[in-house]
C-alpha cells in the first residue's frame, strides 16, 4: 500500500490498460487515442493552450520548459523553499542561466511580496537585460507546502516575465487553472495526481511562451517542443511515444472525467483535512502548522519521542504500508504521508489506524482511536 507522494496508487483499470498489447504508434488507431488524451489533459489543466506529452520524468519535462524559452546568460528568478526549488536552481546553472534565488525556509511558503518587490525593482532594467522568467514550484513535495501560485503569477504578469511552474504534485490534486491564472509554462508528471505509473511528462505552453521559443538559443532536439507542437496538431508525436503508458493514461483520464474536477479537488481537500486532524489528535507535530499553506497532496509530520524512520520501518514491516521519509536536511526527522491520486477516505483511515497501532507498539503514548475519530469527524462533516 503506497502512501507516498509518488508513485501513487494506480487503479485496476489503468493497470489493465498498461498490459494491452502495443499497437503501431503511426496508426490511425493510436492517433485516435492521442486525440482523446490531448482533449482530456486540456480539460484537467483547464487550458486552451498547447499541451504536449513527453517520454520523460518530471525533471526532464521542467528542463523542456526552461530550454525552449531561454538563452544562455538570461536572467531568471528561481523561487526555492524545498528540494525541488533547489533542483531547478541547479538546472539553471547547468544551462548557463543567471539564476537569482528568492527563498523561504523549508516548511514555509514563498512570500509573494518578496517576489513582487524583486520584480518591481527590475522594472527599470533595460529590456534586453530584464529578468526573463520566474521558475517556481507549486506544491513542494519535500516539505508539503503549497505556494500561493495565483498571487505569485499575478506579480510575474505585472512584470512581464514568463512563469515556468513545477506543478508536479499539484496538478490533479488541486486547482491549477492554467489559463485563468495566466500561467505560461506548466510542467507535471504522470506518477502523481494522474493516478499513473511514472514515465510521462506533461507541459503546457502559452502563446507568450511560444513567442519566447522563437528567440530562445539553448540547444535542443529531443526536448524541442516546437517539434511536439507540430506533431500534436496531427495527433502524433515526433519521436516514438511510450505507447503502453499512453494506454494507461487514457484509462486514468476517463476515470477522472467521470469523477469530475470539483469532486477530485474536494476529495483531496477532505483527505488533507482528515490527515491533519488525525495527526493533531495523536499529538504528532505537523511539519507545516498553517493549514492555509499545507499541500493537498502530502502531509509531513515531525514526530517527537519516536523516530520517524523507526515508525516508517514499523508500518512497512507490520502493515505493508509505505510512507516517505525526509529528504536532505530532513532525513530521519520527518515522515511524509502522500494522499494524492487514487486515494480514498478508506485508505486514510487504514493508514491512520496502522499509525496508531505502530505508535502504541513503539511505546509512544496515544489515546486509542483518537486519530481515527478525528479523521472520521472530518469525513462526516464534509460528506453531510
> Positive or negative CA dihedral for 106, 109, 114, 119?
positive
Q: Minimum CB separation from a copy of itself for residue 301, in Å? A: 18
What are the beta bridge partners of residue 101?
78
- The number of angstroms, rounded, from the C-alpha of 174 to the middle of its chain's C-alpha atoms is 10
State which of residues 100, 224, 283, 309 lies at the interface with a copy of itself (CB under 8 A). Answer: 224
358 in contact with a copy of itself (CB under 8 A): no
Here's the x/- map for a copy of itself, 16-35, by CB under 8 A: it reads as x-xxxxxxxx-x--------
Q: For residues 89-108, which are near a copy of itself according to CB under 8 A?
A: 90-91, 94-96
Q: From CA 112, how far away is CA 249, in angstroms rounded?
A: 35
Query: Nearer Cβ to a copy of itself, position 160 or 238?
Result: 238
Here's the x/- map for a copy of itself, 300-339, by CB under 8 A: it reads as ----------------------x-x---------------
Here's the x/- map for a copy of itself, 170-209, by CB under 8 A: it reads as -------------------x-x-----xxx----------
> Could you please report the per-residue DSSP string of 111-122?
-HHHHHHHHHHH
Q: From CA 32, how far away is CA 375, in angstroms rounded?
A: 43
Query: Nearer Cβ to a copy of itself, position 313 or 353?
Result: 313
Q: From CA 268, how far away is CA 253, in angstroms rounded?
A: 17
Question: Is residue 299 within a helix (H) or strand (E), and if so which, with residue range?
Answer: strand 298-301
Peptide bond connecting 7 to the previous residue in cis, omega within 30 degrees of 0:
yes
Q: From CA 201, how far away is CA 279, in angstroms rounded?
A: 33
Show the cell assigned to 344. 480514498
Q: Minimum CB separation from a copy of itself for residue 264, in Å? A: 20
Here's the x/- map for a copy of itself, 43-82, by CB under 8 A: it reads as ------------xxxxxx--x--------x----------
The C-alpha cell 539553448 sits at 218
- The number of angstroms, rounded, from the C-alpha of 21 to the middle of its chain's C-alpha atoms is 30
Q: Minimum CB separation from a copy of itself for residue 322, in Å? A: 5
Residues lying near a copy of itself in the complex (CB under 8 A) are found at 2, 4, 6-7, 9-10, 15-16, 18-25, 27, 55-60, 63, 72, 90-91, 94-96, 189, 191, 197-199, 218-224, 239-245, 322, 324
Amino acid at each position: 500500500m503506497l502512501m507516498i507522494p509518488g508513485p501513487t496508487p494506480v487503479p485496476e483499470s489503468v493497470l489493465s490498460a498498461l498490459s494491452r498489447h502495443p499497437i503501431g504508434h503511426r496508426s490511425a488507431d493510436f492517433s485516435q487515442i492521442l486525440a482523446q488524451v490531448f482533449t482530456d489533459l486540456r480539460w484537467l489543466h483547464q487550458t486552451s493552450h498547447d499541451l504536449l506529452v513527453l517520454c520523460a520524468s518530471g525533471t526532464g519535462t521542467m528542463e523542456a520548459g526552461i530550454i525552449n524559452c531561454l538563452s544562455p546568460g538570461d536572467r531568471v528568478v528561481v523561487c526555492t523553499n524545498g528540494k525541488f526549488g533547489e533542483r531547478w536552481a541547479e538546472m539553471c546553472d547547468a544551462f548557463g542561466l543567471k539564476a537569482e534565488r528568492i527563498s523561504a525556509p523549508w516548511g514555509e511558503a514563498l512570500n509573494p511580496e518578496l517576489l513582487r518587490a524583486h520584480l518591481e525593482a527590475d522594472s527599470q532594467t533595460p529590456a534586453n537585460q530584464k529578468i526573463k522568467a520566474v521558475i517556481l514550484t507549486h506544491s513542494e513535495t519535500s516539505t508539503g507546502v503549497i505556494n500561493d501560485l495565483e498571487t505569485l503569477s499575478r506579480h510575474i504578469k505585472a512584470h512581464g516575465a514568463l512563469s515556468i511552474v513545477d506543478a508536479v504534485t499539484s496538478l490533479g490534486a488541486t486547482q491549477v487553472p492554467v489559463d485563468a491564472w495566466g500561467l505560461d509554462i506548466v510542467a507535471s508528471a504522470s506518477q502523481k495526481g494522474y493516478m499513473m505509473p511514472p514515465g510521462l511528462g506533461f507541459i503546457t505552453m502559452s502563446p507568450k511562451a511560444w513567442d519566447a521559443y522563437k528567440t530562445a538559443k539553448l540547444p535542443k532536439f529531443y526536448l524541442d517542443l516546437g517539434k511536439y507542437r507540430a506533431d500534436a496538431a496531427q495527433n502524433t508525436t515526433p519521436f516514438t511515444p511510450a505507447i503502453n503508458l499512453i494506454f494507461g493514461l487514457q484509462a486514468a483520464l476517463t476515470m477522472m472525467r467521470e469523477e469530475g474536477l470539483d469532486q477530485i479537488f474536494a476529495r483531496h481537500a477532505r483527505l488533507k483535512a482528515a490527515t491533519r486532524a488525525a495527526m493533531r489528535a495523536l499529538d504528532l507535530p505537523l511539519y507545516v502548522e498553517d493549514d492555509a499553506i499545507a499541500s493537498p497532496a502530502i502531509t509531513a509530520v515531525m514526530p517527537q519521542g519516536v523516530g520517524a524512520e523507526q515508525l516508517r520501518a514499523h508500518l512497512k514491516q507490520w502493515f505493508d504500508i509505505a510512507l516517505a521519509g525526509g529528504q536532505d536536511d530532513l532525513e530521519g526527522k520527518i515522515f511524509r504521508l502522500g494522499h494524492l491520486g487514487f486515494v480514498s477516505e478508506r485508505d486514510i483511515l487504514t493508514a491512520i489506524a496502522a499509525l496508531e497501532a505502530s505508535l502504541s507498539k513503539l511505546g509512544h503514548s496515544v489515546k486509542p482511536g483518537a486519530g481515527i475519530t478525528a479523521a472520521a469527524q472530518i469525513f462526516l462533516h464534509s460528506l453531510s
